[in-house]
Amino acid sequence: MVTAEMVKELRERTGAGMMDCKKALVATDGDIEKAVDELRTKGLASAAKKASRVASEGAVTSYIHAGGRIGVLVEVNCETDFVGKTAEFKQLAYDIAMQIAASNPDYVSREDVPEQVIAHEKEVLRAQALEEGKPEKVIDKMVEGRLDKFYKERCLLEQQFIKDPDKTVQQLIHEHVAKIGENINVRRFARYELGQGIEKEQADFAAEVMAQIKG
């Protein structure tokens, strides 16, 4: 039996609407964990349907790490000015800016990685595999697997979300698309680190951002 307490718990965990939570719980016989997965799956499907819709509103959001040592600007787009001004959208954009400060991605998505960078990375990974003495017939599969790891480290949307490593940044956005009902995209970002490019004693500011979030 699905109770009001179960619906409330699922809403608090997912942010989904009351009726959506109730339907998910009924479909999963009251299993909270399965209901969470059910709502995430529906969120992905909903996001896919909205992906082709034009998103030209939104906000350019900033995040400045304590002391002004790391600064991020990120443009996050939605479909309407109304959604762009909501607290929920602003929090999402801020979380994405914080993610960029902490995880230092180079690209928004794997589609943004230049072909020459991919080709160079494949060469390096193939050379590593050969150096390790791996059989020729399995090297291509190994290279693809290691390239996938490269994307997960260097592409913002594929990174683990710093506040919840069980989901990626892309999944976080899809969840908000499902809740808000509009297409949401990260268009571009810029990240600046104090003294970047100047020879000096190195400080791991990204680690400081992570520590601040967790602490």
pLDDT in tens, 132-189: 878 877 888 888 888 899 999 999 999 999 999 989 999 999 888 888 888 899 999 9
pLDDT range class, residue 203, cuts 50, 70, 90? low
Estimate to the nearest angstrom the gap between the alpha carbon of 214 and the chain centroid: 17
* CATH code 1.10.286 region(s) in the chain: 114-151
Calculate the CA 134 to chain-centre distance: 33
What is the per-residue pLDDT for 170?
A: 93
Q: Which class is 57-109+155-214 in CATH?
A: alpha beta
The pLDDT of residue 11: 76
Amino acid 200: pLDDT: 60
Range(s) of the chain covered by CATH 1.10.8.10: 4-50
pLDDT over threshold 60, residue 47:
no
Nearest C-alpha neighbor of 172 from the set 82, 91, 59, 69: 91
Contacts of 66 (CB under 8 A, 6+ apart): 208, 212
Closest CA to 84 of 154, 194, 184, 8: 184
Assigned token pair, 212: 């601040």
pTM for this predicted structure: 0.71
d(CA 5, CA 20) in angstroms, rounded, equals: 15
CATH class of 114-151: mainly alpha
Integer Cα distance of 97 and 172 in angstroms: 13
User: Hey, what CATH topology would domain 4-50 get?
Assistant: Helicase, Ruva Protein; domain 3 (1.10.8)
CA distances from 97 to 4, 5, 72 (A): 36, 34, 6
Residues of the chain with CATH 3.30.479.20: 57-109+155-214
